[in-house]
Amino acid sequence: MKFLDLAKVYIRSGGGGAGCVSFRREKFIEYGGPDGGDGGRGGDVWAEAVDGLNTLIDFRYQQHFFAKSGQHGMGSQMTGKSADDVVLRVPVGTEILDEDEETVIADMTEVGQRVLLAKGGNGGWGNLHFKSSTNRSPRTANPGLEGVERTIWLRLKLIADAGLVGLPNAGKSTFLAAVSNARPKIADYPFTTLHPNLGVVGVDGREFVMADIPGLIEGASEGRGLGDQFLGHVERSNVLLHLVDGTSETVAEDARTILTELAAYSPVLMQKPRVTALNKIDALEEEEIAERRAALEAELGHPVMLMSGVARTGVTDVLRALWTQIEPSRAPAAPETPEGTWQP
């Protein structure tokens, strides 16, 4: 399945049907009077969050969603048929933005959540509505209201409990493949990962979802490399796992680069809990591990864990550290206590 996390969509609700000008014409009835029916209502355009989707690729092949107009009113007091609604089915985690790509219309975070994007026009009144004590044969009817036409953007932000960040080739995809059933592409060159991957990770009988995104490089916030567009997929995470390539000669500078890009993208990411791990320790000597770990801790100011995704060394400890940050969000909400005891 191809991955797409941004799509431009054109929507239009249906217009209301026009009211009818009609008079009752029947044998032996001299003054039949008006009997024009009302027009039908135009169709609405809705967005609905559904389960089982993790991409917006369907909106690459269909960008126009136009609801039909309501049926016109008819004689014999017959109201026109209302048009069916049009529903855009989007993955959970989709943000719906206005045409300016800044104004958030809705944030679809729960399965089954529905949002009205464009309301259909009301049907016009037939001449039966205009009959009065002074005007017994009105020849007036209203046209239906026009529908609403607008352009919207759909932006997908994957919902994961933990997010992986780091420079290209830091071992993020290897780690995800080692701890989950996800099978991302793995190779020894930068930017092997071109789109986000999700995996379900288990530790000590508990499970959580982890997101792997393409690597960041210096200047990603200015568009270098693949840019920082994929950081939105870890913006909803409870904790970030920052992997640093232990085989690099400049581990402190590498870590600083990632933190700089996170801060440039959003202050929210900098406020999230972070677990930092020195990866690929299976390729290092004990002295090198101690030296680079000390340099990394001096740069970041907090403890750094050691691990190897290939050798699976220290992986369980890292997962337990992540679960420690995730667990509070999984705690059930405390039931609301009533203010007073009910008395009959």
Confidence of residue 202 (pLDDT cuts 50, 70, 90): confident
> Which range scores top for mean pLDDT: 6-20, 93-107, 258-272?
6-20
Mean pLDDT of 268-276: 84
6 vs 42, residue with greater confidence: 42
Mean pLDDT of 94-105: 88
Mean pLDDT, the chain, rounded, equals 84
d(Cα 22, Cα 127) in Å, to the nearest integer?
7
For 39-57, write each residue's pLDDT tens digit. 999 999 999 999 888 788 8
Q: Which two tokens stand for residue 20?
A: 């009818």
Residue 10 pLDDT = 95
Beta strands in the chain, from DSSP E residues, in sequence order? 6-12, 45-50, 64-66, 86-91, 94-97, 104-108, 114-118, 149-156, 162-165, 197-203, 206-212, 239-245, 274-279, 305-306
For 138-185, write each residue's pLDDT tens digit. 988 999 999 999 999 998 887 778 888 888 888 888 888 888 876 766
Residue 162 pLDDT = 86
Mean pLDDT of 99-123: 90
d(Cα 65, Cα 149) in Å, to the nearest integer?
10
| Sheet strand arrangement including 114-118 | 86-91, 45-50, 114-118
Mean pLDDT of 68-85: 91
Element holding 18 (H helix, E strand): none
pLDDT of residue 214 exceeding 70, the answer is: yes
Residue 331 pLDDT = 60
85-94, 104-113, 133-142, 182-191: segment of lowest average pLDDT? 182-191
Q: Is 21 within 8 Å of 75 (Cβ atoms)?
A: no
Supply angle C-alpha 34, 38, 41, rounded to 5.
Answer: 175
Confidence of residue 292 (pLDDT cuts 50, 70, 90): confident
314 vs 339, residue with greater confidence: 314
Residue 38 pLDDT = 92
Residue 332 pLDDT = 60
Confidence of residue 314 (pLDDT cuts 50, 70, 90): confident
Distance from chain centroid for Cα 180: 23
Report CA-CA distances (Å) from 344 to 292, 336, 338, 340, 341.
71, 21, 15, 13, 10
d(Cα 258, Cα 241) in Å, to the nearest integer?
12
Residue 88 pLDDT = 93
Q: Is 299 within 8 Å of 255 (Cβ atoms)?
A: yes
Percent of all residues in the chain with a pLDDT value above 70, rounded to a whole number: 89
Give all domains of the chain, ordered by start, each with its CATH number.
Answer: 1-156 (2.70.210.12), 162-330 (3.40.50.300)
CA atoms within 13 A on the CB side of 47: 27
- Nearest to 21, CA basis, from 36, 33, 6: 36
Q: Which two tokens stand for residue 17?
A: 């049907």
